[in-house]
């Protein structure tokens, strides 16, 4: 397609309400972070796969394109490439790391595989002469590098803007075509002036307007939901009790009111007070039509005698689907299903961003047999943005700030068989952990905190006699995204309070342990 004539003037397109920048994803762990930094600069960003076509780009009417970093070398067969015609659209481009090397290679420069590898903090020297990308910045500052290959020959029309000890061309530009690139990662916090560099690109080079906010997305999504679901037909939403589905439901309710019915399946494996909280918030406060299915007995009967963790998950997932299907029979006309899919889920669900349901992050997915279209009003947002919107929409803090909670609920915190007695024990211990974390003012600092009921028993002395009880394992972790986590350094005093209270207040428990394993090698949950 190279050289194909493009009959399109991006600015001729009707001005959208806010400006959008596309981030072409080359498989970088940083693509999300780049997108996020752009939003922090109050410009809307969307991640697109490397095989995005120029026509697809134009339908999104972006103000600029960013090529992300990526793990590949441009020299490796199969390394992700982009259609060179993307560079002929007249849009400003910023290449980052792999994107910088790809730009050099596509335009006739040279990327060498040897030497020049740099990892971590590196001193950047900005060259003499002003460039819009570095204007007003110091001539020397620290940037974050992570690369093996380096650009050694500039493409025609480009000049080098900055260098480091290992990279002669740590940044380059063809100013007339508004093509810029950097070898380092401006999106990471370790790059000192990273956000300013992104600002220079967005505002000075690409002429973006900083008018995007998560609130604009509420208004926009309300209109989008109305447009998607038309004038009639039922819309269903499966509420899990977690923040994502709650915010999605509240937003869709704002858009279409009574046409939304929320289905809340109580599988008996929720934390104490959560069922009441969901009913109180949705049916009473927000006056949303809520079908509360008390399926506790059904789930627990099916779980009787089952110890294998995967089998437990499978039973819970399948039963959830059956229950949901039964409710949906009453809403046969329902054509739409609301999902609280977030931005990171969209990215993880495949290069085309298809609305795939991650089984890990839902209660076993949703019925395949249901012929419904998904409504996903949060698919542009990160968790903290969703929380802000939740508050804006009037959801209480107890829901908006609820910790992530696994779909299969307490079943993944009860290794071995899930019995009614064991649920009572883990729930009671869990309340104590939560209360003490709250009292210590740590509820927002700690990513997740909970109790696990071990499957073995041990001898203890309680009161005047010998006890043979279960140990409770207290787990509290700090994390940004649950991909990795560290155990929270809770004070001995706090642990002591939890331990004393759990042994005193939870019958059947005679020992408390604190899990000091990070992830990896552990996981957050215990199964």
By CB under 6 A, residue 440 contacts ligand XMP: no
* Position among 60, 296, 457, 519 found at the interface with ligand XMP (CB under 6 A): 519
* Position among 27, 155, 367, 404 found at the interface with ligand XMP (CB under 6 A): 404
- Nearer Cβ to ligand XMP (101/240): 240
Residue 510: CB minimum distance to ligand XMP, A: 26
The footprint of ligand XMP on residues 446-505 (CB under 6 A) is 448, 482
By CB under 6 A, residue 357 contacts ligand XMP: no
Count of residues interacting with ligand XMP (CB under 6 A): 13
Residue 439: CB minimum distance to ligand XMP, A: 23
Note if 187 is an active site residue: yes
Residue 381: CB minimum distance to ligand XMP, A: 17
Q: What is the phi/psi pair of residue 62, to 5°?
A: -75, 160
- Nearer Cβ to ligand XMP (360/444): 360
Residue 21: CB minimum distance to ligand XMP, A: 30
Residue 154 CA to residue 426 CA, distance in Å, equals 63
User: Which residue stretch of 30-38, 145-153, 503-511, 518-526 sits at the interface with ligand XMP (rule: CB under 6 A)?
Assistant: 518-526
By CB under 6 A, residue 413 contacts ligand XMP: no
386 is written with which tokens?
């969703």
- Nearer Cβ to ligand XMP (463/521): 521
What is the DSSP secondary-structure string of 254-288?
A: HHHGGGEEEEEEE-S-SPTTHHHHHHIIIIIIS--
Q: From the centroid of its chain, how far is CA 237?
A: 20
Please tell me whether residue 450 adopts helix, strand or coil conformation.
strand
Q: Cβ atoms within 10 A of the Cβ of 48, count?
A: 21
Note if 97 is an active site residue: yes
Residue 514 CA to residue 79 CA, distance in Å, equals 45
Residue 283 CA to residue 22 CA, distance in Å, equals 39
Residue 381 CA to residue 344 CA, distance in Å, equals 8
- Those residues whose C-beta lies under 8 Å from the C-beta of residue 436, and which sit 6 or more positions away, are 494, 497, 498, 501
* Position among 407, 415, 469, 471 found at the interface with ligand XMP (CB under 6 A): 407
User: Which residue stretch of 256-264, 319-327, 380-388, 519-527 sits at the interface with ligand XMP (rule: CB under 6 A)?
Assistant: 519-527
By CB under 6 A, residue 309 contacts ligand XMP: no
Helix, strand, coil percentages for the chain (3-state, nearest 5) = 35, 20, 45
Q: Which of 18, 100, 147, 185 is the catalytic position?
A: 185
Residue 362: CB minimum distance to ligand XMP, A: 6
Residue 483: CB minimum distance to ligand XMP, A: 8
Q: From the centroid of its chain, how far is CA 18?
A: 23
Q: Helices 383-392 and 243-256 meet at what angle, rounded to 10?
A: 50
Which one, of 415, 428, 422, 424, lies nearest residue 504 by Cα?
428
Residue 317 CA to residue 298 CA, distance in Å, equals 13
- Nearer Cβ to ligand XMP (327/524): 524
Q: Nearest 5°: CA angle at 325, between 321 and 328?
A: 140
Per-residue binding string, ligand XMP, 310-349, x by CB under 6 A, is ----------------------------------------
Give me the active site residues, please. Answer: 97, 185, 187
Which residues make up the interface to ligand XMP (CB under 6 A)? 360-361, 404, 406-408, 412, 448, 482, 519, 523-525
């Amino acid at each position: 397609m190279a050289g194909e004539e493009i009959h399109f003037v991006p600015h001729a397109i009707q001005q959208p309400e806010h400006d959008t920048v596309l981030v072409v994803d080359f498989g970088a762990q940083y693509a999300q972070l780049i997108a996020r930094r752009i939003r922090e600069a109050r410009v809307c960003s969307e991640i697109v796969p490397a095989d995005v076509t120029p026509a697809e780009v134009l339908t999104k009417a972006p103000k600029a394109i960013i090529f992300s970093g990526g793990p590949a070398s441009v020299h490796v067969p199969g390394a992700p490439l982009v259609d060179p015609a993307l560079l002929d659209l007249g849009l400003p481009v910023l290449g980052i790391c792999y994107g910088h090397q790809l730009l050099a290679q596509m335009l006739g420069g040279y990327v060498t595989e040897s030497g020049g590898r740099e990892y971590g903090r590196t001193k950047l020297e900005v060259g003499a002469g002003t460039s819009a990308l570095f204007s007003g910045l110091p001539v020397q500052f620290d940037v974050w590098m992570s690369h093996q290959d380096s650009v050694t020959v500039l493409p025609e029309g480009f000049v080098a803007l900055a260098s480091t000890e290992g990279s002669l061309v740590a940044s380059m530009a063809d100013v007339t075509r508004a093509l810029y690139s950097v070898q380092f990662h401006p999106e990471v916090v370790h790059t000192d002036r990273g956000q300013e560099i992104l600002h220079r690109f967005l505002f000075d080079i690409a002429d973006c307007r900083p008018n995007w906010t998560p609130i604009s997305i509420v208004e926009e999504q309300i209109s989008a939901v109305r447009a998607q679901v038309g004038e009639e037909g039922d819309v269903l939403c499966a509420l899990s009790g977690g923040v994502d589905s709650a915010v999605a439901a509240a937003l869709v309710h704002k858009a279409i009111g009574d046409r939304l019915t929320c289905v809340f399946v109580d599988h008996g494996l929720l934390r104490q007070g959560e069922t009441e909280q969901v009913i109180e918030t949705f049916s009473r406060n927000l006056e949303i039509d809520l079908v509360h299915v008390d399926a506790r007995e059904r789930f627990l009967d099916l779980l009787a005698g089952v110890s294998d963790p995967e089998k437990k998950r499978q039973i819970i997932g399948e039963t959830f689907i059956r229950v949901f299907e039964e409710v949906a029979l009453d809403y046969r006309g329902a054509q739409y299903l609301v999902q609280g899919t977030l931005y990171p889920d969209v990215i993880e669900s495949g290069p085309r961003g298809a609305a795939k349901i991650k089984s890990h992050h839902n209660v076993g997915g949703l019925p395949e047999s249901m012929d419904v279209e998904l409504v996903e009003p949060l698919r542009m947002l990160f968790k903290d943005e969703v929380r802000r919107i939740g508050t804006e929409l009037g959801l209480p803090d107890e829901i908006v700030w609820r910790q992530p909670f696994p779909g299969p609920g307490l079943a993944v915190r009860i290794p071995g068989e899930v019995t009614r007695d064991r649920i009572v024990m883990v729930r009671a211990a869990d309340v104590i952990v939560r209360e003490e974390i709250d009292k210590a003012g740590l509820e927002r600092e700690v990513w997740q905190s909970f109790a696990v009921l071990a499957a073995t028993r041990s001898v203890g002395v309680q009161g005047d006699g010998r006890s043979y009880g279960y140990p409770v394992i207290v787990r509290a972790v700090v994390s940004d995204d649950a991909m990795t986590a560290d155990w929270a350094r809770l004070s001995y005093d706090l642990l002591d309070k939890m331990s004393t209270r759990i042994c005193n207040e939870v019958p059947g428990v005679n020992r408390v342990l604190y899990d000091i394993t990070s992830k990896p090698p552990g996981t957050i949950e215990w199964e």
